Amino acid sequence: MQDHPQTYASATPSLVSFTGQLQGEWTIRSMETLTGASLPIAQALHVASADALAGPVSWRLTAFTSNLRYTTAAEASMLQARQSGLGRSEAVHGALIPIQKNAAWWALAQDERREIYQERSRHTSIGAEYLPQIARRLHHCRDLGGPFDFLTWFEFAPEHEPLFDQMLARMRASEEWRYIDREIDIRVVRNAA
């Protein structure tokens, strides 16, 4: 993970590619399709700020970091105070979870989406309970026209994987997740340097 902003959201968008291929800095431990169509099997994941890689790939998903949409100033400073950055030496486990939301979600107005996302589903509140152990970065891709709307990326130490699973179980039981019609949970481990 180099040349990327280490913060969760950035005012200047930065393009990031996640490529499933034979070799890469992260070895894929599992790929579980929770909803919708799966992706082809791949052995390794390469994360790069540009998609200038040569060689055969199983899939390449590209997205960009962006500004916040649903976060209040108070929530942003709470998150800023608690969160950890990517690339911590102990955080050798990772998860790439591409997500697509359905037409009903995108037909809602911004205030209606915020109501479901935080007021009713408590996404930010639940997530904040798992900081700083779980580091994360959200990437947007709906506007690029690809198969997903978001590529969510997480890094954590192996002993915190049960915490990560617990957080996912709580979020997946929420009202927000009823609007998700494609989700694939790809777990990886960073290869020794």
Where does this chain bind ligand HEM (CB under 6 A)?
68-71, 79, 97, 99, 101, 123-124, 127-128, 130-131, 134, 136, 138, 150, 152, 167-168, 171
Write down the least CB distance from residue 22 to ligand HEM, Å.
Answer: 26
**CA 180-128-186 angle, 5° bins:** 45
Write down the least CB distance from residue 165 to ligand HEM, Å.
Answer: 10
Q: Which is nearer to ligand HEM, 168 or 188 (CB)?
A: 168
Write down the least CB distance from residue 33 to ligand HEM, Å.
Answer: 13
Write down the least CB distance from residue 107 to ligand HEM, Å.
Answer: 13
**Burial class, 181, CB count within 10 angstroms (exposed 0-12 / middle 13-18 / buried 19+):** middle
Q: Which is nearer to ligand HEM, 166 or 191 (CB)?
A: 166
Closest to 150 in 3D by CA, of 109, 180, 186, 191: 180
Inter-CA distances, 113 with 42, 107, 145, 148, Å: 34, 9, 21, 18
Q: Which residue is nearest to ligand HEM (CB)?
A: 127
Residues 138/8, Cβ–Cβ less than 8 Å:
yes
Q: Which is nearer to ligand HEM, 23 or 90 (CB)?
A: 90
